[in-house]
Amino acid sequence: MASSSSNLISLKTSDGTVFKVERALAKTMKTVQAIIEEADANIYMIPIHNVFSHHMDMIIDYYKLSVAGKSKEFSVEKLDNDELKDFLLAVHYLNMEDLFEVLTQAVADRLEKKSVGYVRKYFGIENDFTPEEYAAIRKKNDWAFKGDDIEPEEDEEKQEE
């Protein structure tokens, strides 16, 4: 009979924390799974770059809820926008499709009904249009700019209320 430790994989996060996780969880991480399949059977620890220990804690929480059939109870509401984007990038790096969908929906929910200016600020996109070009685009596509008179800072203040 195989020992329970053979069902565990050690993952080392970017900040040096080692997590011993079930193989079933590791299999949900296609990046880790590819490393396991390509490596010899004696692999002891897999470094997971771009993933920090706080990300792994949330990934494990999601996995436990998912296994229990309660994945809809997983929430990222406590994360600010930068933390959510970092977590999304970590999950993308690990290629975890189900959790990636949850996180992209969370980002979409946060951006819903926000101004173009707010979305630009959220993603760090600089407006490279001249004022004349911007005015012409805004006039042509007026329907897409509803609520754009609200500045990003005003959007954030309304969210906090």
Q: Provide the pLDDT for residue 142.
A: 81
Angle subtended at Cα 90 by Cα 99 and Cα 24, rounded to the nearest 5 degrees:
50
DSSP-assigned beta bridge partners for residue 20:
10
Distances (CA, A) of 129 to 111, 116, 138, 142: 22, 13, 11, 16
* Rounded Cα–Cα distance for residues 71 and 153 (Å): 33
Predicted confidence pLDDT, tens digits, the chain (161 residues): 344 556 888 999 999 999 999 988 988 999 998 888 887 666 778 999 999 999 999 999 999 999 999 989 999 999 999 999 999 999 999 999 999 999 999 999 999 888 878 888 888 888 888 889 988 988 888 877 665 444 444 444 444 44
pTM for the predicted model, two decimal places: 0.76
- Sort strands 8-13 and 18-22 into parallel, antiparallel or unpaired: antiparallel
Among residues 75, 154, 83, the alpha carbon closest in space to that of 114 is found at 154
pLDDT at 59: 96
Residue 139: C-alpha distances to residues 12, 44, 142 (Å): 52, 60, 5
Rounded to whole angstroms, how far apart are CA atoms 24 and 67? 10
Query: Is 81 buried (19+), middle (13-18) or exposed (0-12) by CB count in 10 A?
Result: middle
Q: What is the CA radius of gyration of the chain?
A: 21
Tell me what pLDDT residue 138 has: 82
Question: In this predicted structure, what is the pLDDT of residue 39?
Answer: 77
